[in-house]
Amino acid sequence: MAAIIELECWLVYQFVVNECSDCLFMTETTFKARDIGLRAQKKILSRMAGKSIAKVFIDDVTASLLDNLYRLAKEYSKNKKEAEKLIKNIIKIVIKLGVLYRNNLLLENEQVLAHMLKGKLRKIAMGIISFYEVDFSYDRNYLMKALQEAKDILNSIICRHLTDKSLNRVESIFSFFGNEGFLDAIFNTNSEYRDTLGRVVADLNKAIENGDL
């Protein structure tokens, strides 16, 4: 079953990559996740009409958030390829979760965990917003603990369905964004990343307002 799911997810991702290979980077330094979402939606709907997987796409708010997470990761790591890989891994995991959910492959307890994950991500988002907006409120231990809990919940959802490669993608995502050096750097009072973090915060606020988080 895991191999079949991986294949279906791979096919969807290939539609995304093939359709958007000329628009992943609209400039030398800007990752455009929005172009992946909007163009892949049309591609998937046209080629896989009638199948539940056709509904998998990235909306404007999510796309903007991914773009700004890319900027933040690139600015911090000084490594464009690493930042690209992180965002692509996030997109792949989102697609796979979409495939599992829309094909009714999650067991009842896994559906409960999915709701828990959404709630945990919302709390993380609210924490990030608060730490950005309120001076000297940053709590590294709180964020690291919350991110670890989110990773554990996500792994519990996908471990029965996906391969070790997918689990490794999850590990790479949370290892980067949950790293204490990264968190300290972006939340430092005089952080050089504050402007970019502000863009991420704006996207998180929109996602919460829209009910996406």
Is the pLDDT at 42 greater than 50, yes or no? Answer: no
Q: For 2-210, CATH number?
A: 1.20.1440.160
The pLDDT tens digits for 65-87 are 988 999 999 999 999 999 989 98
Q: Name the residue ranges covered by the structural domains of the chain.
A: 2-210
Contact 147, 178 (CB under 8 A): yes
Distance between the two ends of the chain, CA-based, in angstroms? 29
* The pLDDT value given to residue 77: 97
137 φ/ψ angles, rounded to the nearest 5 degrees: -100, -5
| Mean pLDDT computed over 43-56 | 41
Please check whether residue 13 is in contact with residue 96, taking contact to mean a CB–CB distance below 8 angstroms: no
133 confidence band (pLDDT: 50, 70, 90): very high
Four-point Cα dihedral 188, 197, 121, 157, nearest 10: -100
pTM above 0.85, yes or no: no
- pLDDT of 204 > 60? The answer is yes
Instruction: Please give the residue that has the higher pLDDT: either 2 or 101.
Output: 101
